[in-house]
């Protein structure tokens, strides 16, 4: 069972407490949400990289050198 | 000007780690608070470290971040977060090293919206290592009575991580 540390500042006492079912459910929901965000970020990065490579290939086909493309 | 600087409470995570660290019943007798953290995550990669005030889901009006990942510098802003974000050392970073963070909470007892300033850094003997500066204003007008630290992505805070809450007074 996951635990948390609760530090009571009025006494200075730190206590290890098991998470409630509600807290565990919230953690699991957070994990799912975070995974979805990371997947969306990675997909966007991959799409951007693919578009850049495609654009560079088209420019090269028009006769631009690598240095000229990099200078854009 | 800070004339006093007193440790209110401190904790070190024990064997098995902890899902989060909560400071509760924070005394209302200081002017400002400072939370000093040394943390490591039990999850790989980013080890996102989250801080929440009063267990509130009230969102921030403004959050601004400046951060580096070892390869590039980045900025970000948000207006609907109920946390302020930093990095702990991740599980796949160099062994036995920890991050360092400081969170500063000015005028934490007044009835204005609460603000937080944070700076943090991780250690890693590799290219990927994080630095982050962030500041936020929360839609929380109640005095700060509790502060919670956790690792997003369901990871635990690793054993030997520490957190210490200091109170700072503007008069002796």
Residue B61's region, left for phi above 0, alpha for psi from -120 to 50, else beta, is alpha
**Angstrom distance (rounded) from CA B81 to CA B140:** 12
* Residue of B6, B8, B11, B78 to mutate, testing the A interface (most A Cβ within 10 Å of its Cβ): B11
| pLDDT digits 0-9 by tens, B92-118 | 889 999 999 999 999 999 999 999 999
Q: How many CB atoms lie within 10 A of CB B134?
A: 22
Cα three-residue angle A28-B152-B107, rounded to 5 degrees: 125
| pLDDT digits 0-9 by tens, B41-97 | 988 766 688 888 998 877 666 788 898 988 899 898 877 677 787 888 888 889 999
B29, closest residue in chain A (CA to CA): A10
What the block records as the tokens of A49 is: 């990289």
When the pLDDT of each residue in chain B is averaged and rounded to a whole number, the result is: 88
Task: Spell out where B69-108 has E strands.
Answer: 73-78, 84-87, 100-105
pLDDT of residue B69: 87
CB contacts, 8 Å: A41 with chain B: none
**Cβ atoms of residues B113 and B105 within 8 Å:** no
CB contacts, 8 Å: A12 with chain B: 8-9
The answer to whether the pTM exceeds 0.90 is no
Torsion of CA B23, B24, B25, B27, to 10 degrees: 20
Q: Is A29 exposed, middle or buried (0-12, 13-18, 19+ CB in 10 A)?
A: exposed
Cross-chain Cβ contact B24/A7 below 8 Å:
yes
Q: Which long-range contacts (CB under 8 A, 24 or more apart) does A65-72 make?
A: none
Cross-chain Cβ contact B156/A2 below 8 Å:
yes
Cross-chain Cβ contact B20/A7 below 8 Å:
no
Which of B11, B19, B153 lies at the smallest CB-CB distance from A14? Answer: B11
| pLDDT digits 0-9 by tens, A10-40 | 999 999 999 999 988 888 887 788 778 778 8
Q: How many CB atoms lie within 10 A of CB A31?
A: 15
């Amino acid at each position: 069972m996951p635990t948390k540390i609760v530090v009571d500042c009025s006494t200075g006492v730190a206590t290890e407490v098991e998470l409630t079912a509600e807290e565990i459910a919230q953690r699991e929901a957070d994990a799912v949400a975070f995974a979805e965000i990371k997947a969306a970020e990675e997909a966007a990065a991959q799409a951007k990289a693919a578009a850049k490579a495609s654009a560079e290939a088209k420019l090269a086909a028009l006769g631009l050198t690598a240095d000229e493309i990099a200078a854009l | 000007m800070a004339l006093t600087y007193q440790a209110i409470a401190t904790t070190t995570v024990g064997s098995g780690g902890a899902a989060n660290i909560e400071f509760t019943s924070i005394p209302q007798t200081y002017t400002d608070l400072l939370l000093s953290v040394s943390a490591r995550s039990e999850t790989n990669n980013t080890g996102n470290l989250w801080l929440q005030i009063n267990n509130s889901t009230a969102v921030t009006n403004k959050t601004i971040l400046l951060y580096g990942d070892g390869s590039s510098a980045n900025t970000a802003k948000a207006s609907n977060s109920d946390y302020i974000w930093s990095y702990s050392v991740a599980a796949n970073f160099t062994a036995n090293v920890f991050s360092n963070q400081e969170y500063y909470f000015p005028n934490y007892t007044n009835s204005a919206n609460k603000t937080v300033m944070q700076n943090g850094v991780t250690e890693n003997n590799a290219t990927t290592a994080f630095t982050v500066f962030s500041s936020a204003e929360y839609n929380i007008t109640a005095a700060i009575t509790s502060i919670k630290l956790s690792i997003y992505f369901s990871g635990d805070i690793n054993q030997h991580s520490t957190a210490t809450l200091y109170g700072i007074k503007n008069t002796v």
